A and B are shown apart, each in its own frame.
Chain A
Amino acid sequence: MMNKKALGAVAAAAILSLSACSGGASGAEAAKGEISYWLWDANQLPAYQQCATDFTKANPDITVKITQTGWDDYWSKLTNGMAAGTAPDVFTDHLSKYPDFLKTKQLVALDEQIAQDKVDLSQYNEGLADLWVGQDGKRYGLPKDWDTIALFYNQKMATEAGITPEQMGSLTWNPQDGGTYEKAIARLTVDKNGKRGDETGFDKNNVAVYGLGLPGSDAENAGQTQWSYLSATTGWTTTDKNPWGTRFNYDDKKLQDTIDWWASLAAKGYMPKLETTVGANAADNFGAGKAAINSNGSWMIGQYTGYKGIDVGIAPTPQGPEGKRASMFNGLADSVWAGTKKKDAAIKWVEYLGSAACQDVVASKAVVFPAISTSSDKAAEAFKAKNVDVSAFTQHVKDKTTFMLPITDNASKVSGIMKPAMDAVIAGKSPASSLTAANEQVNALFAK
C-alpha cells in the first residue's frame, strides 16, 4: 500500500516480512476469529468488556480483544497503525477526526450489511445517526453514545458563598458584563486572606480558590467544554454550515467578545492564569478544592462525583443573551477500518455495540449516555441510583438546545493553527481580535 517502490530497492536486504501491504478484506471470509477493538476512555472499558463477553456468548466463533489507549496517543497510534497495516478492525471514532479518515478511504461503509441485518436507525437519539453519513451519502459509523456540557460545582463552597442550588440552576450570561454567571464566579473566588472576588480588598494575585477552573484554551476541540456553551448562545456558529463546512467564523465579533470576556476572568483573578495550568489537571484541582466551578462534559460525571469529601452539584450551563442555553452535542460511534481482514465479523461487532443489548449494559454502569433513547433513560436512572442528578445534561437534549460539534475536513490542521492563537488570547498576550488572522489561515486550508 505504501512504500512499495522504496521497499523494492532494498528487497534483497529486507529479510523482514513486511506486513505493511495491507490487502483489502475479501467479503467471502466467514464471520469468525478474533477481532481487535480500540477505545480511549478507561472509565468505559469495564462496560465494553462486558459487552464483548456477552457478544462472544451469542457468537461463539468471534472473540473481541479490547485495547484502551489514552486520548493523547490514541489518534496518532491509530493513523500510524493504518499506514503500517496494524490498525484495529473496529475502533471508537470521533466526529472531529473521521473526516480525515474518510478522505483517505480508511473506513468501511456499513450500509449494505446494516440494511441486511435491519438495524433500526430511528432507535438512536435524534440527529446522532445522521452525523456518521459522509459527503458521499454512505454510513461510516453506528452511534454509541452522546454527551453535553454542564457546570460541576462545589456545593459546600456555594453554600458558604450564599448561592443556592436554584440560583446556580438559573444563571444568566452575556459577553458584556458576564451576567449572574460572572457574579457567581466572582463570589466563589476567595483569596488567601479569605476575601471574596466581589469584595473590596480582594487580592487577585493571591487566590486560594478560583471561581472557575481552567484546563486550557480548548481551541483544539472548538471550545467544546470551555467556551462553546457561551459563544453559541450569541447565535455564533463555528463554520458556515455543519457538517462539512468550509469557512470558519473565528473572525466574528460575537465569538471574539465571548473570548475576550472569558480571558478577562483570568485577568480579574477569577480563573487561573493559563501559564499556571501547564501540566495541571483542572478536574483534580477541582477535587482538591482549588476551584469552585468547572464546565465539562457528561463523560466526566464519574470523575467529578468520585472525589472524596467533595459534594458536587451539577448545574445547567447559563442562559445566553437571548434567554436560551446552548451545549455542544457530540456523539461517538464505532467504525470499521478498511484494512480489516474480518470485515463481516467486525461489522457484526459494530452492530452489537450499537444495539440495545450492549448499550443497556453501558447504561447500567452509569458512565456515559448511550445513543439509543431507551438506553439513555436507563443511564439517567442508573446515575440517579448513584445519587447523581444528571438533568443538567439531559435538559439540553429535551429542550433541543444542543448544536453539533463542527465536522470539517482538515480538523487537525485547524487545531494546529487555532490552539496557539487561542492560547495567546487566554494568556492575555493578544486581544481576541487577533483570532481574525488565525481565521484567515484556517480558511486558506479550504481554499485549495
Chain B
Amino acid sequence: MTTITKQPDPGLAAGAPRKSRKRGKPSDGFRGIGDLKVALFFIAPAMVGLILFYLVPTIRGIYLSFTEYSILGDPEWIGTRNYERIAKDPLFWNALGVTTEYVIINIVLQTALALGLAILMHRVAKSTLIRGALLMPYLMANVIAALLWFWMLDYQIGIINQIIEWTGLPRVAFFGSEQWAIPTQALINTWRHMGYTALLIFAGLQAIPNSVYEAASIDGSKAVSTFWRITLPLLRPVLVLVLVVTVIGSFQVFDTVAVTTAGGPVNATRVLQFYIYQRAFNEQDFGYGSALAVILFLILAIVAFIQMKFLRGNQSDLD
C-alpha cells in the first residue's frame, strides 16, 4: 500500500526498463512492436477478466435496468419505468436511509479505532506478532464472522446476553429489535475490518519522514499537538484512500445482513444491497434489481468523487 503514498521518482521508474531494453533488443525497428506484443500478452488475462466480469456485466446491467426481466425468458424494454417506480418506492428510500445509518456508524467507529490502533502499532506495539494478531478478524470470512456474533449475541442462548443478565441488566435483542439491528451489524463489521484499516493507516504513518517529527520536537511541540498538526495532515492522502475504500465497501454491506436478519425486523436492516438481492433473486424482478444497482453505482461514484475532490486525496502535503 505504500506505493500509493510514496510517489516513486518518475525518472527512476522509467529508467530501469529503458536500460534492459537496450541490452535485449539491438534493432530499433522491432523494439516497439516486440514490446507491444509482450505487453499485450501480459495484459491479456487481466483484460479478459475485466471485460468478461466487469465491463460486460456492467453494460448489460445498465441495459437490464431499462427492462422487465425475470431471468427465465427474454428481457422486455420498458424505458425508464423501473426508475420511476423506484422514485416512488418507500422501501428504496428506507433502504437508502438504513444503509446511510450503517455507513455512518461503521465508518466513524472504524476510522477512529483504526487510527488509534495504527498509532499504537507505530509507537508502542513493535512486535510483529501483535501487529499480525490485529489482522486476525479480517482473515475470517464475512459470513463466519457474522454467524459467530449472531450466536454470541443471540437473545436466548447467546453468551453475551448471559453475561448481561448476570450483571443484572435486561437482555438485549441485538438483532431482533429495530433500533439495535443496524448498530449491531455495523459493530460486527467494524470489529472485522478495523485491523486491516489500521494496517493501511500504519503504512501511511511509516511514510511520514522522521525529520518532520524531529523538527517539531525541537520547536517544543507536545505529543498531542504533534498528532493534530503534523501526523494527521500528513496522513491525509492515506486517510482519504481509506475513507473512499471503506465507504464504498460499507455501502455494499450484504453478507452480514443476509445470514443474520435478512432485512428484518420489519425493514430495519433492509440495506440497499440486500434489497437489490431480494428484488432480483427472490422476486425474480431482475430489471428492477438492476435499476437499483445502477442507482447504487451512481451514489458510490458521486460519494467517491466528492471525497477525492474535497479532501484532495491525490495531493500530499509532503511535497
- Distance between B170 CB and nearest chain A CB, rounded to angstroms: 8
Most chain B beta-carbon neighbours within 10 Å: one of A104, A105, A285: A104
Q: Is the CB of B266 within 8 A of A76?
A: no
Query: Would you give the 0/1 interface string for A267-282, flagging 1 where the beta carbon is closer than 8 Å to chain B?
Result: 0000001111111100
**Contact of A423 (CB < 8 Å), options: B48, B51, B177, B265:** B265
Q: Is the CB of B265 within 8 A of A275?
A: yes
**Contact of A279 (CB < 8 Å), options: B51, B154, B266:** B154
Q: Is the CB of B155 within 8 A of A280?
A: yes
Residue A263 interfacial (CB < 8 Å):
no
Report the 5 A-B pairs with minimum CB-CB distance, sorted nearest first.
A275-B176, A104-B72, A278-B176, A275-B173, A276-B155
Residue A424 interfacial (CB < 8 Å):
yes
Q: Is the CB of B177 within 8 A of A412?
A: no
Residues of B within 8 A of A (CB): 48, 51-52, 56, 59-60, 70-74, 150-151, 154-156, 171, 173, 175-178, 260-261, 263-267, 270, 278-279, 281-285
Residues of B within 8 A of A13 (CB): 48, 51-52
Residues of A within 8 A of B261 (CB): 278
Residues of B within 8 A of A415 (CB): 282
Chain A interface helix/strand/loop/mixed: helix
Q: Is the CB of B72 within 8 A of A79?
A: yes
Cα A429 to Cα B264 in complex, Å, equals: 13
Cα A416 to Cα B177 in complex, Å, equals: 20
- How many pairs, one residue from A and one from B, have CB atoms within 8 Å of each other in the complex? 98
Cα A419 to Cα B155 in complex, Å, equals: 21
**Contact of A274 (CB < 8 Å), options: B52, B150, B176, B282:** B176
Q: Is the CB of B72 within 8 A of A416?
A: no
Residues of A within 8 A of B (CB): 2-3, 6, 9-10, 13-14, 76, 79-80, 82-83, 100, 103-106, 273-280, 285, 290, 412-413, 415-416, 419-420, 423-424, 427, 429
- Distance between A208 CB and nearest chain B CB, rounded to angstroms: 12
Q: Is the CB of A2 within 8 A of B265?
A: no
In the complex, residue of chain B having the shortest beta-carbon distance to the beta carbon of A82: B72
Q: Is the CB of B281 within 8 A of A79?
A: yes
- Complex A-B: 7 CB contacts under 8 Å: A2-B71, A9-B56, A79-B72, A275-B265, A413-B285, A419-B264, A427-B266
Q: Is the CB of A412 within 8 A of B283?
A: yes
Cα A276 to Cα B181 in complex, Å, equals: 12
Q: Is the CB of B52 within 8 A of A14?
A: yes
Cα A280 to Cα B284 in complex, Å, equals: 28
Q: Is the CB of B176 within 8 A of A277?
A: yes
Residues of B within 8 A of A285 (CB): 156
- Distance between B168 CB and nearest chain A CB, rounded to angstroms: 13
